[in-house]
């Protein structure tokens, strides 16, 4: 098994899996029917993408594990998603801020992943970027609507951006698997995306009458499997069926 490629795929897929779980939990709880359906569709898009990644990971692993096993049955420390995507839905401003801060990165990342020498990853990126382009527009529009809305909505969105900002820098940290895949022309050198990312985020925030946080304190650990207290609760729901009914088939 190509361990570096396997870990690299998990590093991509776990982000979308956990964010998809977060967005899926909002089904039936959106502020309006249209927005509720949109958030659910974003969740479904992300789960569709991760299925392709985990199918490829299972093929590489070659140990009879299925895509479901890899997605649902790992212990917490084996998930390598960034901390940003596991942050809770404190209110709708937090939900959109979290989505926005990840979407800008996700679009830039998939743009580069399309150039991968690995044809499977390139194909997944090519298909996924169409969906993520919509995700980015949707979340950016909500940042603007709430940021440049009422006094209350502006305050809530600024608070959400300020609180979640500490998790953005981890998006650009490289693991050993990341570095190995970049060297082989398979992976994306995320360090080259950092300046563009913060420029694009700043453009939207300024158009929303929101301030770009000045904090230089950043939190990390997710890519090494060290998560916040929220992760255990997410996995408890995500893994319930697979652990309660082992080897279950539909």
Least Cα distance to 98 among 183, 44, 159 occurs for 159
**250 inside domain:** no
Q: Are the CB atoms for 111 and 200 separated by under 8 Å?
A: no
User: What b-and-e string marks burial along 181-217, b requiring 16 or more CB atoms within 10 Å of the CB?
Assistant: bbeeebbbebeebeeebeebbeebbeebebeebeeee
Q: What is the pLDDT of residues 43-101, one digit of tens each?
A: 999 999 999 999 999 999 988 889 999 999 999 999 999 999 999 999 999 999 999 99
What is the residue range of 10's domain? Answer: 3-244
Question: What six digits make up the tokens of 109?
Answer: 């990342």
Interval 131-155: pLDDT, tens: 999 999 999 999 999 999 999 999 9
**How crowded is residue 162: how many other Cβ atoms within 10 Å of its Cβ?**
16
Q: Is residue 194 part of a domain?
A: yes
Q: How confident is the model at residue 250 (pLDDT cuts 50, 70, 90)?
A: low
- How many domains is the chain built from? 1
Distance from C-alpha of 54 to C-alpha of 68, rounded to nearest angstrom = 8
pLDDT one-digit tens code per residue, 166-205: 999 999 999 999 999 999 999 999 999 999 999 999 999 9
The residues, ordered by sequence, that sit 6+ positions from 87 with a Cβ below 8 Å of its Cβ are 94, 98, 164, 167, 228, 230
Q: Name, in order, each residue with C-beta under 8 angstroms of 86's C-beta and a sequence gap of 6 or more.
A: 18, 22, 222, 227, 228, 230, 231, 234
In a domain, 215, yes or no: yes
Q: Among candidates 78, 73, 20, which has minimal Cα distance to 49? A: 20
DSSP 163: H
Report DSSP letters for 27-83, one per residue: TT-SSSHHHHHHHHHHHHHHHHHHHHHHHHHHHHH-SS--HHHHHHSS-GGG----G
CATH code, domain with 217: 1.20.1260.10
Tell me, yes or no, whether 249 lies in a domain.
Answer: no
Confidence (pLDDT) at 76: 96
Residues 100, 105, 108, 110, CA torsion sign: negative
Q: What is the mean pLDDT of the chain?
A: 94
């Amino acid at each position: 098994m190509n361990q570096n490629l396997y870990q690299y795929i998990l590093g991509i897929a776990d982000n979308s899996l956990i964010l998809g779980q977060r967005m899926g939990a909002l089904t039936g709880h959106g502020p309006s029917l249209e927005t509720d359906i949109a958030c659910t569709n974003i969740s479904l898009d992300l789960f569709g993408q991760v299925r392709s990644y985990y199918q490829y990971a299972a093929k590489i692993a070659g140990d009879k594990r299925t895509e479901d096993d890899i997605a649902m049955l790992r212990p917490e420390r084996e998930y390598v998603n960034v901390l940003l995507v596991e942050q809770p839905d404190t209110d709708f401003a937090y939900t959109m801020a979290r989505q926005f801060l990840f979407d800008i990165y996700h679009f830039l990342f998939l743009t580069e992943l399309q150039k991968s020498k690995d044809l499977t990853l390139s194909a997944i990126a090519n298909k996924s970027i169409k969906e993520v382009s919509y995700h980015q527009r949707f979340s950016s529009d909500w940042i603007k609507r709430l940021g440049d809305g009422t006094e209350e909505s502006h305050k809530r969105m600024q608070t959400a951006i300020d609180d979640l900002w500490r998790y953005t820098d981890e998006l650009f940290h490289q693991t050993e698997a990341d570095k190995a895949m970049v060297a082989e022309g398979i992976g994306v050198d995320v360090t080259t995306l950092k300046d563009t990312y913060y420029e694009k985020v700043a453009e939207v925030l300024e158009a929303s009458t929101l301030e770009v946080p000045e904090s230089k304190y950043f939190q990390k650990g997710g890519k090494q499997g060290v998560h916040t207290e929220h992760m255990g609760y997410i996995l408890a729901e995500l893994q319930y069926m697979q652990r309660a009914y082992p080897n279950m088939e539909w």
